[in-house]
Amino acid sequence: MNLFKKIFGKQKSTDFVASDALLEENKFWEIIALTLKKSSGDYELQQEELAKELKKGSLQDIIAFDNRFKELMGNSYNYELWGAIYIINGGCGDDSFDYFRSWMIAQGKDFYFQTLEHPETLIDLNRNSTEIEREGFSYVAATVFQELTDQEIPSLFIGNQEITGFDWDEDDLASMFPELTKKYPDYY
């Protein structure tokens, strides 16, 4: 076996099963907080820190982390949040909204829940100095899993797939988000 490893390298692990288990929520947010702190808010570096943290756990932990991430993405799939980011960006398509929600999760528990509860708190963002459409964070767990196993991350978890909330059109946004509209009057 040692000769095999020397010739062909480390054997990839296959010690996992597909699962719909969620990583314990506090543990998930502890990992996010740690990576945010270690990266000093640098989004690219935070992804690297997240990969390092995920590699410390088991393959089942990586699957459970990814499932929790998907749950949080689904829970934030609502029209009101989309409306707020639409104003800030001067428009926002499906992919951009996904990328924003991924970035929002990477900002930590307090930011995530505050923004979800009161999207207009995004007024504090400066769209010229904060890049809020960053998709990479949503792929970290799958990338780490692939690296460790040479397989795609398996999941039985199916989060919310249906958008919730008030289905607005552009004319509704000024009354929904008066402060954001004042700050970003060029949203449409």
Sequential pLDDT tens for the chain (188 residues):
444 444 444 556 778 999 999 999 999 999 999 999 999 989 899 999 999 999 999 999 999 999 999 999 999 999 999 999 999 888 889 999 999 999 999 999 999 999 999 999 999 887 665 667 677 899 999 999 999 999 999 988 988 889 999 999 999 999 999 999 999 887 65
Residue 94 lies in a domain: yes
Kindly state the tokens that stand for 145. Answer: 């899993």
**50 found inside a domain:** yes
Residue range(s) defining the domain that contains residue 39: 22-158+169-183
Sequence-separated contacts (24+) of 45-51 with Cβ below 8 Å = 46/106, 46/137, 47/136, 47/137, 47/140, 50/137, 50/140, 51/140, 51/143, 51/144
- Residue 136 included in any domain: yes
15 found inside a domain: no
CB 60 within 8 A of CB 17: yes
The confidence score (pLDDT) of residue 86 equals: 93
Note whether residue 104 is domain-resident.
Answer: yes
The pLDDT of residue 3 is 43
How many structural domains compose the chain? 1
- Residue 14 in any domain: the answer is no
Range list of H helices, 1-91: 2-8, 25-39, 43-56, 59-75, 79-89
In a domain, 140, yes or no: yes
What is the pTM for the complete model shown? Answer: 0.90
Supply the DSSP symbol for 57. S
Q: What are the beta bridge partners of residue 78?
A: 164
Report yes or no on 80 lying in a domain. yes
